[in-house]
Structure 1
Amino acid sequence: MYRILIFGNSGSGKSTLANKLAKDLRIPILDLDTIVWEPNQIAIRRPQEDSVKDLLDFIENNFSWVIEGCYSTLIKAAIEFSTEIYFLNPGVSKCLENNRNRSWEPHKFKSSEEQAQTFEFLQNWIQQYSSRDDEFGYSSHRSIFNQYNGRKHEIIA
């Protein structure tokens, strides 16, 4: 049984690692963005209880899985079911570079042009990772990683 949680800053490589693990292990993957935002409305957040319900439904309906995202509240809701976690922490410069090279994400945006409209916002948001004091920030992710007593990995490069 594999129940893998992956978290970190935007652009840290969460989706890349999650897709590789899911493919190699032949298990389903959940990108938390798909349950947090209204479909085709990336700027409108769904009610938290709806996102948690969808997360727990995914966990209940899949024996093994990979879940990835930057939402500490949802990571905390899933962590008790996980067998291992990955904290991707390659540094802000690498995250900015990865964001510049990000390919179109059709499960999040209707078109590559729509995704491109979010580029500057996301670059600024990535740069604030260590200073943000919210569920998306470094301090929240670090706390989750430090408190987890199971199998865990921090990837810094």
Structure 2
Amino acid sequence: MRKVLVFGNSASGKSTLAKRLAASEQLAHLDLDLLAWQATNPPTRVPLVESAKAIEKFMLQHEHWVIEGCYSDLLKVAEEQSTEIIYMNLSVDDCIINANNRSWEPHKYASKIEQDANLAMLIQWVSQYDLRDDNFSKAAHISFYQNYTGAKKMLTTNS
């Protein structure tokens, strides 16, 4: 029974890989973006306890799954149940290229135009990955990867 956590910088290819795994191996797929944020302007995080409950419910409902996101605090909720992790450790430049080439994400945006209106903000966010000191940072992801005791893989390209 495969239970995979996929994580990395924004636009590193997490969703693409998770969707591919879900389709090829019939895994349930959870995108943490969908339960991490409240629909406020500006967006604010859902309280950790609420997001954790949603993750736990998802894991109880599905025997095989892939969970993806950049939230190291939320990944820790699923860590003990997971069988493996995949760290998408692409360069910031590669993530910016991916962001510029990103197809429309209808589960997150009403239109491609709405999504593209956030592109400058996304690129700024992506470019700060190595510098940030938060749950979304490279430092947090490396720590999560290094401390994980199960099967793990680090990918540095999308190919």
TM range (shorter): over 0.9
Structure 1 runs not aligned, ≥5 long? none
* Partner SS, residue 94 of structure 2: helix
Contact 1:9 1:95 in 2 (8 A): yes
Give the Cα separation in 1 of the matches to 2:74 and 2:101: 27
Give the Cα separation in 2 of the matches to 1:44 and 1:128: 19
Do structure 1's residue 76 and structure 2's residue 65 form an aligned pair?
no
Contact 1:28 1:62 in 2 (8 A): yes
Contact 1:84 1:150 in 2 (8 A): yes
How many angstroms does 1:70 deviate by? 0.1
Structure 2 runs not aligned, ≥5 long? none
Cα RMSD, aligned residues only: 1.4
Are residues 42 and 66 of structure 1, via their aligned partners in 2, closer, same or farther at CA, if it must alter by over 3 Å? Answer: farther
Contact 1:10 1:126 in 2 (8 A): yes
Structure 1 runs of 4+ with >4 Å offset: 39-42
Instruction: Report the counterpart of residue 15 of structure 1 in structure 2.
Output: 15
Aligned length: 157
Identity of aligned residues (%): 44
Give the Cα separation in 2 of the matches to 1:27 and 1:90: 24
* Partner SS, residue 116 of structure 1: helix
Instruction: Report the counterpart of residue 33 of structure 2 in structure 1.
Output: 33
Q: Deviations over 1:14-59 (max 9, x none)?
A: 0010000000001110000011123597823322221111011001
Instruction: Report the counterpart of residue 91 of structure 1 in structure 2.
Output: 91
How many angstroms does 1:110 deviate by? 1.4
Instruction: Report the counterpart of residue 2 of structure 1 in structure 2.
Output: 2
Instruction: Report the counterpart of residue 48 of structure 1 in structure 2.
Output: 48
* Partner SS, residue 76 of structure 1: helix
How many angstroms does 1:63 deviate by? 0.5
Which amino acid counterpart does residue 149 of structure 1 have in structure 2? T
Q: After alignment, is 114-123 or 39-48 more displaced?
A: 39-48
Instruction: Report the counterpart of residue 150 of structure 1 in structure 2.
Output: 150
Q: In the TM superposition, what are the counterparts of 1:55-134 in structure 2 within 5 Å?
A: 55-134=55-134
* Partner SS, residue 67 of structure 2: strand
Are residues 65 and 39 of structure 1, via their aligned partners in 2, closer, same or farther at CA, if it must alter by over 3 Å? Answer: farther
Contact 1:40 1:109 in 2 (8 A): no
TM-score (norm 1): 0.96
Give the Cα separation in 2 of the matches to 1:106 and 1:40: 18
TM-score (norm 2): 0.94
